[in-house]
Amino acid sequence: MQLTSVSKNQTLFTQESNPLAINEHWFNPQYWLEQDKVFAQKTGRATAYFFAEKELKAVLRHYWRGGLVGKVLQDQYLFTGMDNTRVYKEFALMCELHQQGLPVVEPIAALVTRSGLIYRGDIITRALEGATSLCERLVAGPLAAQLITHIGETIARFHKAGVYHADLNINNVLFDDQDKVHVIDFDRGELRPPQTQWQQQNMQRLQRSFTKEAGRQPSFHWQQSDWQKLEEAYQRALSC
């Protein structure tokens, strides 16, 4: 990973092998909107901007706080060193996972902007072709058994590699246009020695997200027997 000071208060992270001429303007949505290069926007807790630059299709995401703290501080974080920023930690982790060949979206660049003791952050990742979330797929219709198995096996790959995901839920599990499963959003994630306790906590969080979305969506195609298939596939792959 390469760090570049683009100004007194801004530090840019890129992969060392990245040939793109990335600068601080890449992290301003207005920069892409004015060039008519934004081809999609996705709203949630915050807006993600999908833009195209030459051969690259990418996603720009700003870091926002969640929960009650987020209502007050919104996008502000206390700066205690570059290595401690959530931006640096997520980008470094994604670079490592991508290099290991795990199914994550490719990290392109990230930016930390400081203002005194406060920092804000942004990250750019490569967009998956034809990406749909597991939640979106279940709203549209039931999943084939082989796809449910694929989800369990994919999560087991991450857990065997010691990857702890701080917010494993059905919106952070994506299918690409070939139905390959990817996991996204590694904010506050980390590498840990594989242990049953945190692995099961991850799985319990995922299971709760199925229940939560089933209660929110007027149409949601998920049964307890589907979870059992997923769990069984996960356990088989974890023990191999």
How distant, in Å, are the alpha carbons of 9, 183, 200, 210 from that of 220?
46, 21, 24, 9
- Give the Cα separation of 238 and 240 in Å (integer): 6
CA 17 to chain centre: 21
Catalytic residue among 75, 167, 179, 226: 167
Helix axes of 196-216 and 145-160: crossing angle, nearest 10 degrees: 140
- Give the Cα separation of 95 and 16 in Å (integer): 10
Contacts of 214 (CB under 8 A, 6+ apart): 220, 222
Q: Identify whether 75 is a catalytic site residue.
A: no
Distance from first CA to last CA of the chain, Å, rounded? 32
Q: What tokens appear for 124 in the block?
A: 């750019």
SS3 141: coil
Which letter does DSSP use for residue 17 in this model? T
Query: Phi and psi (nearest 5°) for 201?
Result: -65, -40
Q: Which residue has the tokens 């995401």?
A: 61
Q: Which residue has the tokens 């009650």?
A: 68
Contact at 8 Å (CB) between 167 and 185? yes
CA 168 to chain centre: 10
Catalytic residues: 167
